[in-house]
Amino acid sequence: MDGRQTSTSRTRAESVQNPWFAAAPNKRSRLSAIDGSVDLAELDDLVLRRASELREGDDDRVGTVAGENTIGSVMEILAHARAERHVLVIPPKFTDYELADAATLTTGGAHRDGPPLFNAWRGTPSGSLCGYSTSGSTGSAKVVLFTWRREFDAAHEFASATELGPKDTVLCTGPIAHMFPLAVGVMAPLAAGASVVLAHGRLAGDRLLELVEQHSVSVMQGVPLVFERVLEALHAHAPHSLRLCISAGEAADGGLLTRWRERSSTPLRQDWGMTETGWLSYDSIGIPGSVGLPNPGIEIRFEPVSGSDTEQRGSADGPGEIVVRGRWESQVNSFAPDSREVVGRPLTDQWLATGDVGFRGPRGELVITGRRDRLLSIYGHKVDPVEVEAVIEEVPGVTRCLVRLETTRAGAPLLRAYVVGGPVVTTRSIIDHVRARLSAHKVPADVCITDALPELASGKLARAASVVAR
Alpha-carbon distance of 186 to 170, in angstroms, equals 8
CB atoms within 10 A of CB 202: 16
Whether residues 29 and 53 fall in one domain: yes
Contacts of 82 (CB under 8 A, 6+ apart): 1, 19, 47, 48, 51
Identify the bridge partners of residue 315 per DSSP, sorted by sequence position: none
In a domain, 341, yes or no: yes
In a domain, 455, yes or no: no
pLDDT at 135: 62
pLDDT at 347: 80
Q: CA–CA distance from 119 to each of 112, 115, 332 (Å)?
A: 18, 12, 10
Find the helix or strand (DSSP H, E) in which 48 lies: helix 40-55
* Edge-to-edge order in the sheet of strand 268-274: 36-39, 30-33, 195-198, 169-172, 219-222, 244-247, 268-274, 278-282, 293-294
pLDDT at 458: 66
Alpha-carbon distance of 201 to 267, in angstroms, equals 25
Whether residues 428 and 317 fall in one domain: no
Whether residues 243 and 386 fall in one domain: no
CB atoms within 10 A of CB 139: 8
Give the residue from 312, 334, 367 where a domain finishes: 367
Q: CA–CA distance from 138 to each of 131, 141, 142, 306 (Å)?
A: 18, 8, 9, 19
Whether residues 215 and 296 fall in one domain: yes
For 435, the domain range is 375-450
In a domain, 465, yes or no: no
Please list the pLDDT of the chain residue by residue as tens digits (470 residues).
333 232 333 333 333 344 454 445 667 899 999 999 999 989 999 999 999 999 887 666 788 899 999 999 999 999 998 888 889 999 887 777 778 888 888 887 655 555 677 654 433 445 688 899 876 544 567 899 888 888 888 888 999 999 999 999 999 999 999 888 999 899 999 989 999 999 998 888 999 999 999 999 999 999 888 998 899 888 766 688 999 999 988 888 777 888 898 888 899 999 999 888 888 999 998 888 899 999 999 999 999 876 544 444 446 788 899 999 988 778 888 888 777 788 888 887 789 888 888 999 999 999 998 777 777 877 666 788 888 998 898 899 998 899 998 888 877 788 999 999 888 899 999 999 999 888 788 899 999 999 888 877 667 777 777 787 77
Q: CA–CA distance from 64 to each of 140, 146, 197 (Å)?
A: 20, 15, 23
Whether residues 98 and 37 fall in one domain: yes
Contacts of 448 (CB under 8 A, 6+ apart): 416, 417, 418, 419, 467, 469, 470
pLDDT at 8: 32
- Residue in 154, 178, 172, 149 with CA at minimum distance from that of residue 89: 178
- Residue in 408, 402, 393 with CA at minimum distance from that of residue 374: 402
Whether residues 412 and 269 fall in one domain: no
CATH code of the domain containing 429: 3.30.300.30
Whether residues 257 and 153 fall in one domain: yes
pLDDT at 245: 96
Whether residues 308 and 397 fall in one domain: no
Give the residue from 345, 367, 389 where a domain finishes: 367
Whether residues 237 and 303 fall in one domain: yes
Q: pTM above the 0.85 mark?
A: no
pLDDT at 258: 87
Whether residues 438 and 294 fall in one domain: no
Q: How many domains does the chain have?
A: 2
Whether residues 82 and 229 fall in one domain: yes
Identify the bridge partners of residue 37 per DSSP, sorted by sequence position: 32
Q: Apex CA 408: angle with CA 407 and CA 411, to 5°?
A: 70
Whether residues 355 and 396 fall in one domain: no
